[in-house]
Structure 1
Amino acid sequence: MSLLADNGKTSNCRPAFVCLLLFSLLQLPRPQYNLPFSVLALFLCGVVSLSLGQNDKAQRDRLIACLASLILVTALLQAMLGFVQALGLAPQTYGWVLFTPGASDVMGNFGQRNQLAQFLGWGAVSAAYLYATGRMGRAATGSAVLVLALMMSWTGARLPLAYGLGLALLAWFWHRRVPQDETVARMARVLAWSVLALALIQIFNQQIDSVLQAIGLPIHVQSGSDRLLDAGFGARRRIEWSKAWEVFLQHPWFGVGLGGYAWHSAWLEAYGGWPKVPESWLFTHSHNLIFQLLAETGLVGTLLVVGGLLCCLLPYFRRGEQTVDNLLLISIAMMLLGHSMFEYPLWYLPFLLMLVIICTLSPAKGWTVQLSGRFRQVLGVSAGVLALAYAATGILPYRQLIQNFTPRNENTLQASLDNAKRSLKLSELSRNPLWSWEADLGMVNYLQPDGIMRDLQLELAERVARYQPFPTVLIKLSILRALNGQAEPAKQALTMAIANYPDYTPVFQHELARYREPELKPLQEMASKAVKAGAAQGGATEAGRLAAVMTVAAPATRQPIF
């Protein structure tokens, strides 16, 4: 397979490449933080798309077969890691397997249950494809599907139930279009077995757990069906969708820029008048692809992305395109886009790259342009070298960031000296434009708001808060604003902190109590009032969080739009 072959003076530009190029150019004048990281990631995806677009049918078939094999092997590896997590053995793997302290969460090394569940779904579809094309036997396929379905259930994710419905509909449509195609029929049968296995395991998950415990395996996990009736399902998501819609209405054409939603979400949580479903973490994303695009890229960017997706994906459904290759690709696209309606997998490069590959390999017709194979070759090699160089040169800065990100809390001279050294290292790292975002956030942890370099400290806190309004950032921004004579903006920052992070309210009170300056008195009273209100309603409970939030946030005057 020659993706970058030096052949001819023209190139085939697929719709996926054109859309990626236009979207990158649209975002280029609005760099996120110091560097246009999003644009660079999109550029990398564009190079991949341009390279893959040169494949003929034979090369395309071989690529898809290799892709399916790689996905299945990786999915089974992730399933094995999930089994280690379910057994509670992950803490004993010396950091090689992720884990949640005190819990047996099944999340693989993705670190998030829904992302693992989706990838395991890719694995099941890949197994069906490999069986249909004669590359896997019946026993191996059935075993692989059973393992993947079991682990999808153990993640506790609810979306696999929707994936199963989507796979059933796609298999039915494909088989109905080409009832005489035996390979499609074979793949449809395995997909039907996958959906059935997933449904049965979800339904009988508790009984399966009991059997495993009876033979000595300490496994107790919730399935997605067990969590279907959990209270509050989707309540906060609907509020975030409504906030994203409001941000879009305020910035309708080009949005607030990639990465800009977090600050607006935090501000609207405090002052937007939406119903309160308090949670103590930062919502950098509205948990819906369309609303997020509307908020951050406006109508222009959203139409470009949605139009590009339709242009690339609808041709899969044209009569005559119902092959097992296309069924594999459109099934993965269904899971990706379905997941994107409730979370944000496409904000992680592996998932985004997979969608780019699917769109590039679409049956959609491309355009022939005067772009030589030599140019493509140079472009692809350059992008690959730069990507490898970025990964290689990032090892040392990453270690430096991890080692120095959190200050020592001991009240000793040695701890103070160590903290000074750590903050100095972060300051040096912040000069590296590739790491300034993370280094600046780490430096905020070391800020001691006082009269020395207060203006520089305030500038740093303001800059970080615009994209990363985490609890420490907001409380220190509030203090610095107050000490700088900005009384109302200081209250605004503290209001945002309490409204978005009610569990941290006692921490805010403790931090503010360290100061004797009169400018901090109003902030101390706000924090004290919130702590008392929360404690009166149970502290770290839903009622306690709500009580703390409502001491500062605007009262609810409207309902979620959706």
Structure 2
Amino acid sequence: MSAPPSLPTPALVATLALAAALPPLLAFNQTPAATLYNQLLALAGWGAVLLLWARSSPAWRAGLKSPAAIALALLLIAPLTSVAFRALPLSLGLGATAIIGAGLAVLLLAQGLSGHARQQAGEALCWGLLATGLFSVAIGLVQVFAPAGADGDFIARSGIAGRAVGNLRQPNHLASLMMWACVAAVFVTQKRGWRTALPPLLFAFVFTVVLSASRTGFIGIVMLAIWGLVDRRLSRSARLSLLATPLMLGFSWWLMSMWSAEGHAFGAASRLSEGAGSPSRLAILRDAWALTMAHPWLGVGWGEFNFAWSLTPFPARPVAFFDHTHNLPSQLAVELGLPWAGAVLALVMWALWRAWRGAAQARDDDAALRRAALMIVLTIGLHSLLEYPLWYGYFLLPACFALGLALPAAGSENASSASAPWAWVGGLLIVGSAYAVWDYSRIVAIYAPSEDGVSLTQRIGAGQRSLFFSHQADYAAATSYPPGKLALAAAQRTAFSLVDARLLMHWSQSLQSTGDVESARYLADRLREFRNPTGDTWFAACKEPASAAPMPQCQRASGVIDWRTLR
């Protein structure tokens, strides 16, 4: 006989709300990973949700056969296969596995909720997102209008004059938080009867989108207006408020134009003067498609796009260093191949269709919850066509939980007493996140050494023994060790994380020093394609008088080298 579900207590509701709210608000960070602590806080917070909400979701088994769960399971296999059968470093594979596995767990947890527990979970999620939005509005105002007040520890400093970046330090991420806050505000104000509070809340969030100057955010505002147009289940005041969001955008723009007329920086005006599109993003999509066509069946491997793209000749490549295609379908296609990526995307679309149809057929409170949850998923899905927010735990985990709420509830008839997996998974995420904080301290020591007298070589060696972050220590080894075998091996590992001009230069020198002159020249050719100042300075030696011995990289490679042989 199955055990009855445990109803959520105020402590459980607060835990879920905090798991959604706190990770995007954390400003404290340490070099070299700006948002690592945000991600670890998200994993630990949602781990606590899994641990405490396990008994409230007895029907979790029914969700195992859902298309969304199968899609995430297929993705969960990907980093493991790249570690086992390709060349992806274990540290990168473990990080991806943890985030995707946590996403699958919270999806199944949400799908297993029903009745009052489901409503409580949805309201807690929306309260958390609304709180994040309100605090982010305040942070954005400080970053634009009083930048001296941003101390870097509680309020992140904006590196772009006249633009709000939030505590995640990315304008597009701030804009996505504002979209989620808008959806949450609609749900909370309708459920609580606070309808008069909705217009000022929406205006505050739209105004912050303007401060972020995110073109993705501007498109998201149009999406909100479409929601108000098509969803006739919303109250009249809510629909009118959503339909007014483009007007709020225009009014916010006018206010900021008045501000900039007094000599202040207005980031959105300069941003949109670049055009609605991004030539570099279009170029990276073109190059990614070329790589997909070169590896259509199994792709280049999970986490290997950066490596493959950087080391494949693309004479017309964008000059920026990209570690992602900035488009979810394109990223999956190039890394997994067309059959695998196609299966994942088809399952995701099937899940969204089920959520859409179910939301249309639902009644009363369940309808409001499922429509709001679906909008949370759709808004971040829009962002995923132009960026890669779902590679971050603080976006992926709330999105997976919202998708679970948007899908039909499993129902008590499918209940199972086996809720233990969530307790174990949640506990593992909490302990793993705590260990990762300590593990990362070995990387921080490389870039911010203490006064204990430990040499750089010793600090790098300790960092290379890190379970989760050894690839970051490898970057320091590749660019600071003398050219040779040790630096070469480190360069080959860290290149899966990010290839930049400095790494290409040192990598080429290490290849030269180990006798592989042709590969050294090939990497130098790739550096020329990026047209980077670091490379230009390095290649300036090739213009010295003929009496000076030219470096081998002054001469072009005789042919194309398969990037897979450089791993």
- Asked whether the 8 Å contact 2:328–2:388 carries over to 1, the reply is yes
What's the counterpart of residue 440 of structure 2? 398
- Asked whether the 8 Å contact 2:155–2:167 carries over to 1, the reply is yes
Distance (Å, rounded) in 1 between the aligned partners of 2:250 and 2:206: 9
What's the counterpart of residue 175 of structure 2? 117
What's the counterpart of residue 265 of structure 2? 220
SS in 1 for 2:239: helix
CA change 1:499–1:96 in 2 (3 A) is farther
- Given the alignment, which residue of 336, 359, 369 partners 1:297? 336
What's the counterpart of residue 546 of structure 1? none
Distance (Å, rounded) in 1 between the aligned partners of 2:189 and 2:448: 50
Map 1:431-442; keep pairs closer than 5 Å.
Answer: 431-442=465-476
SS in 1 for 2:301: coil
- Given the alignment, which residue of 164, 167, 179 partners 1:106? 164
CA change 1:226–1:522 in 2 (3 A) is closer
What's the counterpart of residue 272 of structure 1? 314
SS in 2 for 1:253: coil
Instruction: Report how far residue 476 of structure 1 moved.
Output: 0.9
Distance (Å, rounded) in 2 between the aligned partners of 1:457 and 1:226: 42
Structure with the bigger percentage of helix: 2
CA change 1:331–1:438 in 2 (3 A) is same
Instruction: Report how far residue 39 of structure 1 moved.
Output: 2.2
1:445 aligns with 2:495: no
What's the counterpart of residue 18 of structure 1? 70
Superimposed CA distance per residue, residues 364-401 of structure 1 (whole angstroms, 9 cap, x where no aligned partner): 47699999433x32x21222222222222233333332
- Given the alignment, which residue of 463, 469, 476 partners 2:506? 476
1:251 aligns with 2:295: yes
Distance (Å, rounded) in 2 between the aligned partners of 1:112 and 1:428: 31
- Asked whether the 8 Å contact 2:446–2:463 carries over to 1, the reply is no
Distance (Å, rounded) in 1 between the aligned partners of 2:337 and 2:182: 36
- Given the alignment, which residue of 13, 17, 30 partners 2:82? 30
- Given the alignment, which residue of 491, 494, 498 partners 2:528? 498
- Asked whether the 8 Å contact 2:130–2:182 carries over to 1, the reply is yes
User: Identity rate of aligned residues, in percent?
Assistant: 19
CA change 1:101–1:162 in 2 (3 A) is closer
Instruction: Report how far residue 198 of structure 1 moved.
Output: 1.9
1:143 aligns with 2:200: yes
Superimposed CA distance per residue, residues 261-311 of structure 1 (whole angstroms, 9 cap, x where no aligned partner): 01222133xx234x35433xx201111111111001112331232122212
Superimposed CA distance per residue, residues 95-129 of structure 1 (whole angstroms, 9 cap, x where no aligned partner): 33222457343101111101101111211221122
Aligned residue-pair number: 495
Q: TM-score under structure 1 normalisation?
A: 0.79
Superimposed CA distance per residue, residues 504-550 of structure 1 (whole angstroms, 9 cap, x where no aligned partner): 2244358999xxxx996232x46xxxxxxxxxxxxxxxxxxxxxxxx
Instruction: Report how far residue 142 of structure 1 moved.
Output: 2.8
SS in 1 for 2:62: strand
What's the counterpart of residue 562 of structure 2? none
CA change 1:65–1:43 in 2 (3 A) is same
1:87 aligns with 2:126: no
What's the counterpart of residue 386 of structure 1? 428
- Asked whether the 8 Å contact 1:116–1:155 carries over to 2, the reply is yes
- Given the alignment, which residue of 199, 210, 215 partners 1:158? 215
Which runs of 5 or more structure 1 residues have no equivalent in the other structure?
Answer: 409-413, 527-550, 555-562
Tell me the C-alpha RMSD between the 2 structures: 3.4
What's the counterpart of residue 534 of structure 1? none
Instruction: Report how far residue 253 of structure 1 moved.
Output: 2.0
Distance (Å, rounded) in 1 between the aligned partners of 2:275 and 2:225: 29
Distance (Å, rounded) in 1 between the aligned partners of 2:499 and 2:527: 8
CA change 1:401–1:263 in 2 (3 A) is same
Higher relative contact order (CA 8 A, sep 6+): 2
What's the counterpart of residue 455 of structure 2? 421
Distance (Å, rounded) in 2 between the aligned partners of 1:122 and 1:185: 21
CA change 1:242–1:7 in 2 (3 A) is closer
What's the counterpart of residue 62 of structure 1? 120
- Given the alignment, which residue of 38, 42, 46 partners 2:100? 42
Distance (Å, rounded) in 2 between the aligned partners of 1:161 and 1:92: 25
Distance (Å, rounded) in 2 between the aligned partners of 1:357 and 1:80: 26
CA change 1:249–1:209 in 2 (3 A) is same
Distance (Å, rounded) in 1 between the aligned partners of 2:376 and 2:58: 33
Superimposed CA distance per residue, residues 460-513 of structure 1 (whole angstroms, 9 cap, x where no aligned partner): 222323443222221111111112221111011122223225122244358999
CA change 1:349–1:520 in 2 (3 A) is farther
- Given the alignment, which residue of 36, 55, 80 partners 1:5? 55
CA change 1:107–1:10 in 2 (3 A) is closer
Which runs of 5 or more structure 2 residues have no equivalent in the other structure?
Answer: 1-6, 9-52, 560-567
Distance (Å, rounded) in 1 between the aligned partners of 2:505 and 2:56: 57
